[in-house]
Each structure stands twice: as structure tokens, then as C-alpha cells.
Chain A
């Protein structure tokens, strides 16, 4: 390799270092995540805490799945889906409905995921819009789903039937399993041809379509898989709580995953996991430092604004950049 070529190669890597896998082809982060997940799995066995305290961790798994789901479409494929709450709540409704019809948990979850993927397919026509208009189009989707759901399922609240409610330990392991599947499923997919095509599209859509990548096909795959995961997260969520159709109007379920992915590093393997963990730690700390008041919401909104303004590229990428500087 000539000197010139070498330099080209390194600038190439630098340019694409936004996508962790191209520049760091080793498996450090997946190994760390795997060890972390194993330790998480061991935690209920070694801790002597009351099993009901495990319920506190259910939202963490849900946030990880949602962040993974958003990172797949918004991070890798640059499809800014602002309607994640629609997929999420629809998945919850379908799961609750199926289980009250007598289905067991896993078929109901898969069915909910398929419904979420179908919802992703119905968004195909919006894919040809410019990214910010795509975002606005998807933002409106949950508001459209609300009346549809009210017609299809004419009842006020949804929950799992009392006989099917899982105990806290089962719920914990269900969440851990779903989070592990979504993390490593997406990891393996991103190593395949689909993943490489998605990263190419997210980076330079025009260039990748001129190289013969079917951009519509891969974007549709990303959207459908993202919808599948978000709906499964909803199906998991409804195991511990009963919800109603006003959840569709809750922008937070769409925007918190985006916040996590951005603080963790958008379009990276580590990003959504680190972001979801960081988010959960921050919200847990804020929740517990002001018991009985709602100052945590106020402080959390300030944290969101602060991160968006000071670290628009995310906390974890900034730290990694700092380490790289130190390490030369």
C-alpha cells in the first residue's frame, strides 16, 4: 500500500467513524455488553432483596428495546421516525387483546410484533419524502391510530388477564431475554449484507442507490423490523401495567428513545444500550432525590436541553473521542 493510499484509507475510516463497526472491527463492545447481560441475569439469583423490587427494572428493559428499535431506523438508516409511540402502544393493545382472547404470552408477543411490522409497511409511501417531512409524517401516525384503535377495540383500558400476570422474577427474565434478542439480533443483522446496505443508505443515500443498492427495499426492512421491536416492547410493557388509548398522545415514548440514542451515540452498536442505561440511571437518581415532589420532571427537562445543546453528538462518542485523543 502506498503512502497516499494509506492516508486515503485512514481518512476514509475517520469519515465513517460515526458508524462504530466500520472503524472498530473488533468485538470489545459486544463482549462487554454480553458480560453485562450475563451479570444482569445473575443478579436476582445472588441478591437477597425482595423479589418485588425487581419490578423496578422492567422499564429499563423496555427502554433498551425501544432505543434499539429507534436506532435501527433512525440511526443506521437515517429514517427519523417520530411516531414510535404508535408502534409501541399498538403492540401493547394487540398483546393485551390476544391474551384476553386466550392466547399465551409468546404467540401474542409475536403477533403484536407482526402487527407493528405491518404498520411499518403502511408507511412505505412516506419513504420518498425528504427526511424532515418524513419525521413530521410519522409524528402524526399515532394520532391517527388512536381513533382507529377506539373503533376496533371498543373498550377503555387494556391489560393482561389476571390469570396470566407474571411474577416479578418471570417479568425480569422476560425483559432480559427480549432485550438480549433485540441487541444481538440487530448486531448480527448489521454484520450481514442488509446491515451494510443500511449503513450505506444512512450515510449517502444517492451514492448507495447509484451503486445498485435497492434503497426502498432496505429502508422498508429497517422500518418494519423497527416496528416489530417497538410493538414487542409494548407487549412487554402491558405485562406490568394497564393502559388506555390516551397513551397514543404521549410524545415521550417517541422522544425519550431518541434522547437515549443521541446521548449514547447515534448509529452505533453501543449507543442505544449506553443511552438507555444512562437515561435509566439519571431518571432513577432524579426520582429518588426528590421523593414526593415532581421536581424530577423539571430537572429532567433541563438535562434534555443541556445534552441537546452542549453535546449534540452524544455523551459516549465524546468520551470515546477524548480517549482516542489521549491514546493518540
Chain B
């Protein structure tokens, strides 16, 4: 086959797989931001925390208990979900009605706090960063070298798994929000919390549910992040958070399917600009992250032309 055609097909495949991961990482924050209007800037730190939990699991529990490292995803889900519950009761519950800035600051403090704990440990809690700033990856002997090779194309197995998890979880979440009582309560609270309270919905419980669920989903995404990337403690702020915000706005806040599609758009943009980068720009002797520039430009253009995102509504005043 023609090399450029192979490259093109490879870019499509890796873009879609990457997009699945981005959607998985963003869907939790989309839920939280959609329901409570709280911009949880600690979302990236939640993901990185879960990633380091999975890395530690693969270093400690996998050899001694012979557990599949993927089993740590359940642990991540529960741990970060529990963290979400604690954060909701300690921080968010008191300030969720006092505007946009106070929760922003509180979650910013939280992200600094979590990054410190990941990096340095705290009292009896040892540091969970085995990388010493170099970047660590989950030990996954089962998956490490087994990329699936189909003709001239190859697919990394952990990326495929995170893609599959995303396209399974997100439609389920969509069904949960549109069909069940609690899902409908979450959507009602997102639209107008006062009216929802008048109709007999316990909005405290609903907000707790959405915050905990959103955090737990960040946990799952973090578990998969540990398999596909080399993780450093600050990656949540410098890499994940901006991309997550782009995905959320592109897809439309509060729309789960929109987030999935937004993830694919960002993944494809990044993988295609990488292709463009490697085939054209390297010749001129510099190698900037053109992918991010293009992605953020598309984001700003979409924000201006269609501020509601692809599937959202009611953003422009």
C-alpha cells in the first residue's frame, strides 16, 4: 500500500482511539460543570491521582496477588468517587451558591494539595509518585508489547481498551440521565435548581450524586491514562485540563454524546496535525506543538460561531 495512505489510515485510527480517552476524561467534568456550574480545576489532578494509584497497584498488587492491573480501574472508580464525596461535603457544599470564583479557588487549592501529596506524600501516607519527576507508566506485562497488528496498521491494546470503555460508559451514562429518576433529577437541577427544588427533588443529594459520579469517572479515565502515557504529577494541569475543557465546550456542556463526539474531534485534530507536523514542518527545522495550536484555534472558532457547542444549548446570554 501507498505509504501516505497508510499514514492517513493510521492517523484516523489513533485519533479515534485517543478521542475515546479524551471523552472518557471529560465526561465527568461535563457532568459536574453542567449540573453545578462549578469549574472543577482539580479534575486533572483527580485523573493523575487515579493514574498513580493504578501505577502503584501494578507495582505492588499485581506481582504479589497475581491480579490483572486492569482490576485497579474498579479501585480507582471507588477511591476517586469517595474523594469526590469528601470534597463535596468539605468544600463544595458550603459555597456552591456563592458565585463562580469561590468554588474555582477552592478546587484550585485542592489541585495544588493533591499534586503535593502525589509528589511528596503526607505524614504516614508515602509518596505515590514512583517516577521522581521522570514520568511513570503502569507495569502491564500483558499488554506492553502486544500491539494488535492488522496489515500495515497497528493498534496499542490499552488505547483500544480505553476507547471501548468510553464508548460503553458514555451511552450508558446518557441512558441513565435520560431514562432514570435520578438522571432526570440531575438534568432538572442543571436546568433550574430552584424549580427543581420546588418540584420536590432533593437537590443536595442530586448534586452530591453528580459530583461523586463525575469524580469517579475521572478515576476510571486516570486508570486508563496510566496504561497509555508516561505520567508526571503535574500533567493534570499542563496537559489534561485544557484539553478536557476544549472537549467539553466543543461537545456542549452537559451533553454526554456531545462529549464523546467532541473527544473524537479533538483526538482526530491532534493526530492529523501530528501527521502534518512530521511530514512538513520538520523540514523547516522547528517542531512546535502545532497540534495544540490548531486544536485550540478550532476551539475558539467554534466558541465564537456556535457557542453552545455541537450539542449544547443556552450558553449565550
Contacts and interface: CB of A to CB of B under 8 A. Distances in A.
Contact of A294 (B94, B120, B296, B315): B120
B307 A140 contact: no
A320 interface: no
B311 to A, nearest CB: 15
Interface residues of B, number: 49
A128 B316 contact: yes
A297 to B, nearest CB: 5
B105 A307 contact: yes
A309 B101 CA distance: 11
Contact of A312 (B90, B102, B290, B304): B102
Given A137-B303, A304-B105, A308-B109, A147 B289 contact: yes
A251 B108 contact: yes
Contact of A144 (B237, B238, B249, B292): B292
Q: Which of A255, A302, A312, A313 has the most CB of B within 10 A?
A: A312
A292 to B, nearest CB: 13
A178 B113 CA distance: 33
B113 A301 contact: yes
B252 to A, nearest CB: 11
A129 B307 contact: yes
Nearest to B100: A132
Interface string A236-275: 0000000000100101100100110010001000000000
A131 B100 contact: yes
Given A144-B297, A298-B122, A301-B112, A262 B102 contact: yes
A150 B303 contact: no
B242 A143 contact: yes
Interface in A85-136: 125-126, 128-133, 135-136
B25 to A, nearest CB: 16
Nearest to A148: B293
Contacts of B248: 136
A129 B315 contact: yes
B110 interface: yes
A130 B317 CA distance: 6
A185 interface: no
A139 interface: yes
A126 B304 CA distance: 6
A212 interface: no
Interface string B98-126: 11111111101110110011001010000
Contacts of B245: 136, 139-140
Nearest to B91: A309
A300 B105 contact: no
A146 B101 contact: no
A126 B303 contact: yes
Contacts of B108: 251, 255, 259, 304
A67 interface: no
A269 to B, nearest CB: 19
Interface of A: 80, 82, 125-126, 128-133, 135-137, 139-140, 143-144, 146-148, 150-151, 154, 246, 249, 251-252, 255, 258-259, 262, 266, 294, 297-298, 300-305, 307-309, 312-313
Give me the 10 closest cross-chain CB pairs, A-B, nearest first: A304-B109, A312-B102, A308-B106, A305-B109, A301-B112, A249-B238, A301-B113, A144-B296, A308-B105, A147-B293
Given A80-B100, A298-B117, A305-B91, 19 more contacts: A128-B307, A128-B317, A129-B303, A137-B249, A139-B242, A140-B299, A144-B300, A146-B292, A147-B293, A150-B286, A255-B105, A258-B101, A262-B105, A294-B120, A298-B122, A302-B109, A304-B105, A305-B105, A312-B101
9 contacts: A136-B39, A140-B296, A140-B300, A143-B242, A144-B300, A147-B293, A252-B112, A301-B112, A305-B109
